[in-house]
Amino acid sequence: MSIRRTAKSRRVVAAVSMAAAFALAATACGGDDGGGETSHAGASSSSSKPSDDGANGADEDTAAGDNVDTNAKLAEAKGQGGLTFVVNQVKRDSGGFVTVQGTIKNEGDQPKNSGGWGGAESAVVAANPNSVAGATLVDKVGKKRYYVLRDTESRCLCTTGILPLQPGKSTPVFMQFPTPPASTSEVDFTLPTFATTSLKIS
């Protein structure tokens, strides 16, 4: 009886050991699959992150006026009816354009609107209501005139939708032009209904 019990016990131990080995193998395989999926998801998440960062960077790069010192006064142009345009920044950008940023203030005693600032070209005025799309830069040395950049639908790279200015109020504006040659350091700036003023390009 003891011999039979010993043999039977050995068979039970062997069976239990085999079952445990199979269970361990199954768990290991399951762990590999789970680990593979986690690694894959991590790679996918990692690959999408640079795209998100790039999008945020583009937004920061194209946002005009974010780091402009509104107290800076590079130039000033007097307009009709007590309007004044103060240029706060003129800067070449890496994209191949020049950005002019400033502030238009109503120093008169009557409300003023942006009539005339959009220029005389009807297609441009229609695509850019209440804007500064009519501004130009003139390189007198190179004998070239530069207009505000536009997209294929004639929408300007400039401030649009300018509300009427009440007396004592001001509004920030920007406009982007093709960049003159690197050798050009000074241009004449004109916004319709304002006097022409000289600008140095940084």
- Grouping H, G, I as helix, E, B as strand and the rest as coil, residue 115 is coil
> pTM of the prediction?
0.66
13 pLDDT above the threshold of 60: no
What is the per-residue pLDDT for 120?
Answer: 84
Query: DSSP secondary-structure letter at 168?
Result: T
64 pLDDT above the threshold of 50: yes
Beta bridge partners of 91: 99
Separation between Cα atoms, residue 98 and residue 163, nearest integer Å: 25
Helices (H), 64-188: 122-127
- Grouping H, G, I as helix, E, B as strand and the rest as coil, residue 152 is coil
pLDDT digits (tens, 9 = 90+) for 108-153: 999 999 989 998 888 888 899 999 999 999 999 999 999 999 999 9
What tokens does 168 get? Answer: 């004592």
Which strands form 197-200's sheet, in the order they lie side by side? 144-147, 136-139, 186-190, 197-200
